[in-house]
Amino acid sequence: MSLLLSIVMPAYNEEEVIETVVKQWTDLLTRQFPADNTRLIVVNDGSRDKTGAILDQIKNRYPKLMVVHQPNGGHGNAVVNGYRQAVALDSAYVFQTDSDDQFVADDFAKLWAKRDDSPFILGYREERYDAPARLLITKILRLSIAFIYGTYIMDSNIPFRLIRGTFLRKLLAQLPDPTPFAPNIFLAVMAKKAGFNTFDIPITHKERLTGTVSILKWKLLKVCIQSFKELAQFRFELSGKVKALKKPEPVTA
């Protein structure tokens, strides 16, 4: 069965809020898409708390919920796993968000309204509630992408994006192997350099009240340097990958 929409959501140590977030997004799917053609794919990234157990307990209560368990591989790895699950389900559209309750489900409609205008649509956190170090690194990342690739993306790593399923399949085929630390950045760069309008739609970002922030202080600086190196290396591969993305998509009946 082909799906109209799959929502991909990685989860790590979110026992305090995971059911609340699942309910928010499954309620949105049920309200906006009453037919049985949507799924919420939650990828439990080897959580050390009760997140996985809670997901298994509640999945029968939420028919649109699909739970995937994997060994801990990091946020980026879990996101790509979720994307591959969505593509395997032949989803016409794939939306990605996070499980930390820092986003508002109703903002999804802003991106959905643009789905016919671009195969790759991003939100951006107009006012971002994160630690100062994370805000600084976001600014550095934005400037790094502009310097390395000559393109400007407001919020290239935002976990609030809508991608056409056929285009996502092509993007995943061009993603470096092994999976980069922050694959969402690479997907955004490829889409933008291939000439697509990402729109950068302002969305609401809330303060994090629960859960675990897994990357802090020196570890945050370390992964920032790692991401910069990966992005710089990727520059030499980008031209060929963009050509592959620009090939016309097959016409479906």
Number of structural domains found in the chain: 1
In-domain check, residue 252: no
pLDDT-derived band at 134 (thresholds 50, 70, 90) equals low
Mean predicted confidence (pLDDT) in 47-66: 97
Find the domain containing 153 and state its range: 3-246
In-domain check, residue 251: no
Q: How far apart are CA 94 and CA 65, in angstroms?
A: 15
Extended beta strands in 46-193, E state: 65-70, 91-97, 120-125, 160-164
In-domain check, residue 184: yes
Side-chain-facing half-sphere of 237: CA atoms under 13 Å = 13
216: pLDDT strictly greater than 70: no
Residue 132: what pLDDT?
65
Query: What is the pLDDT of the chain when averaged over all its residues?
Result: 90
- Higher-confidence residue of 177 and 11: namely 11
- Higher-confidence residue of 249 and 126: namely 126
Total length of the chain: 253
Widest CA span in the chain: 52
CATH number for the domain harbouring residue 14: 3.90.550.10
In-domain check, residue 185: yes
Mean predicted confidence (pLDDT) in 95-105: 96
pLDDT-derived band at 225 (thresholds 50, 70, 90) equals confident
Task: DSSP for 80-97, please give it.
Answer: HHHHHHHHHTTEEEEEEE
In-domain check, residue 59: yes
Q: Find, among 136, 135, 133, 110, the residue nearest to 121 by Cα.
A: 110
Q: Phi first, then psi: what are they for 217, rounded to 5°?
A: 50, -125
41's enclosing H/E stretch is strand 38-45
